[in-house]
Amino acid sequence: MEQFHGVGVTPGRVVGPVLQMPAPVAEPVPGPVPGQDAVVEAERIRSASKAVQAALKDRAAAAAGEARGVLEATALMAADPMLVKGAVKLLDPSAEGGARSAERAVWESGAAVAAKLESLGGYMAERAADVLDVRARIVAELRGLPAPGIPDSPTPFVLAAHDLAPADTATLDPARVLALVTSGGGPQSHTAILARALGLPAVVAAPGVDTIPDGTPVYVDGAAGTVRTGPGQPERDAAAAWAAQAAALAGGFTGANRLADGHPVPLLANVATGKDAAAAAAAGAEGVGLLRTEFCFLDRPTEPTHDEQVTAYSAVFAEFAGKKVVIRTLDAGADKPLPFLTNTDEPNPALGVRGYRTDTTTPGVLARQLAAIAHAARDNHAEVWVMAPMIATAEEAAHFTALAKEAGLPTAGVMVEVPSAALTAEHILAHADFASLGTNDLTQYAMAADRMLGPLAHLNDPWQPAVLHLIKATCDGAHTAATTTGTPKPVGVCGEAPADPALAAVLVGLGVTTLSMTPRALTAVNKVLATITLPQAQELARLALAAPTAQHARDTTRNHLPILTTLGL
């Protein structure tokens, strides 16, 4: 028996055989190819890139939510002018080193584009993996081979890999893949986020799991972050108990979350499309705590029209008539570059012009988006709140709030993702009507740790005491601002943190008023919160704040919540 330790990102206990992701597409032979027809080979490259793009778009059409947005963005890369034009140039006999084969030209051009992205660091470096994924798919298409991807198996299996490309992760089939384990990646990588959305037990940043031989039976504990080979009867019993409990938890939320003493804490959903919203409403979500609008923009080289935006937003609003829908304005930049809005040459995009800041370099896009949101709000009956990402100062909060209200949106707030916003929440909320904590970014900025990097996974943990103190500072600032202004200043959380039922209890104790999460987490969070009173939640928060480490905070909280063991969480 061998055990591997990583970061658990989705709870669950399963036993099954491992299948490793296939080896990457073999590198084409280097060297010049004399006498080839460069025009014919160029057309082959263009046709292959279009075929790959079409295949990825088809997969995107069958996906939903974040999966769809990731696939559409990857599809755009398949027709990236930098990649295709670079490859075509290498077909020319006058190119340095002579004319390459079409496969080799694509290979070298992809390497050059990926190297440029890696040199930018941060989120842009993470996009390099997407380029290399597209490169492999185009080469496979040129060779007439199947595209690389998830292994095919008639029986369910545990998928193991170093890491997965977004295009692969986005199409994981929970009916075939029992769990996901990787040696690389981080707790906020695309792999982890999409695994949560699919409800797949997952462990990331577990060195060595990518060397487990195919067919080896393993036991995966997504809560503990462990993978064990040679499972015995106790592990199989634990997996069976989890399966039974998971079935009991499915669809058990009635849409009215309250603590044991009757204190209401609405449970909302994170969505990106009308299809997502329909699924969230069916799962009992009491509203939408985060409507990500960037997926309306990502699959195109130009800004969507007013009518296109109104249609996209209305599809979500229509599913939550009479309920709150919090919509985030365009969060472009960093890992979501847009050709008409962002500068891909920034040396550090994660700290660059992203989110609200794009209004300073490309004014007009934000105002037009607010106008479209207001139009969709007028045409529907949802209670629409709007918020801006990457707000760092009170001045920015005042400016955004004024823009929103000029557009006819009466409730305007801010995302708290930057530590400065948490520390000055009192002043920011003197202008804004509410705050929503984006714990993914708040954690990476507080800990100076790129959320995509596996080696920094231990830092990218929302249980980090520093992050909990920033959340408390935000809630305290909101309370002071409410007292000063005489109007409530609610604080929600819409990052990945609320999907952890134990952390959800702590967040309520810190002063958070609403929790937003993937719809799959609603029932578990509801069942746990229903067992504690507000004073008990506040005591859990006090204990977590006093903890010296993230693990100590997590363990202490879990020890005070026996319901987690009962539910197999």
In the chain, the amino acid numbered 377 is A
CA 111 – CA 98 distance, rounded (Å): 18
pLDDT digits (tens, 9 = 90+) for 77-122: 777 778 999 999 999 888 888 889 999 999 999 999 888 877 766 5
Asked if 307 and 315 count as a contact pair (C-beta separation under 8 A), the reply is no
Catalytic residue among 296, 431, 475, 494: 494
Determine the pLDDT at residue 265: 98
SS3 label, residue 221: strand
Under CATH, which architecture does the 38-143 domain have? Orthogonal Bundle (1.10)
Determine the pLDDT at residue 295: 75
Asked if 120 and 349 count as a contact pair (C-beta separation under 8 A), the reply is yes
Catalytic residue among 190, 375, 427, 431: 190
pLDDT digits (tens, 9 = 90+) for 457-468: 889 889 999 999
Higher confidence at residue 235 or residue 133? 235
In the chain, where the domains are located:
3-22+149-234, 38-143, 265-566
Banded pLDDT at 343 (limits 50, 70, 90): low
Average confidence score pLDDT of the chain: 88
Does pLDDT of 300 surpass 70?
no
What pairs with residue 219 in β-bridges? 15, 228
Q: What share of the chain is helix, strand, coil (3-state, %, to 5)?
A: 50, 15, 35
SS3 label, residue 266: coil
Name, in order, each residue with C-beta under 8 angstroms of 53's C-beta and a sequence gap of 6 or more.
75, 76, 78, 79
pLDDT digits (tens, 9 = 90+) for 178-204: 999 999 877 767 677 777 777 789 999
Cα–chain-centroid distance for residue 530?
A: 27
pLDDT digits (tens, 9 = 90+) for 512-533: 999 999 888 899 999 999 999 9
Out of 3.40.50.850, 3.90.960.10, 3.30.70.260, 3.50.30.10, select the CATH number for domain 3-22+149-234: 3.50.30.10
Establish whether 5 is a catalytic residue.
no
Q: How is the beta sheet containing 13-20 ordered, strand by strand?
A: 3-5, 226-229, 217-221, 13-20, 157-161, 177-182, 202-204, 7-10
CA 354 – CA 360 distance, rounded (Å): 10
DSSP 155-211: S-EEEEES---HHHHTT--TTTEEEEEESS--TTSHHHHHHHHHT--EEES-TTGGG
| 328 closest CA partner among 189, 434, 481 | 434
Banded pLDDT at 60 (limits 50, 70, 90): confident
- CATH number listed for the domain at residues 265-566: 3.20.20.60
Banded pLDDT at 297 (limits 50, 70, 90): confident
Determine the pLDDT at residue 187: 75
Q: What is the mean pLDDT of residues 20-26?
A: 81
Range of 275-289, 358-372, 385-399 with top mean pLDDT: 385-399
Asked if 57 and 133 count as a contact pair (C-beta separation under 8 A), the reply is no
Higher confidence at residue 73 or residue 393? 393
Determine the pLDDT at residue 334: 54
Establish whether 494 is a catalytic residue.
yes
- What is the Cβ-side half-sphere exposure of residue 100, based on CA atoms within 13 angstroms? 21
In the chain, the amino acid numbered 478 is A
Residue 305 token pair: 């029209």
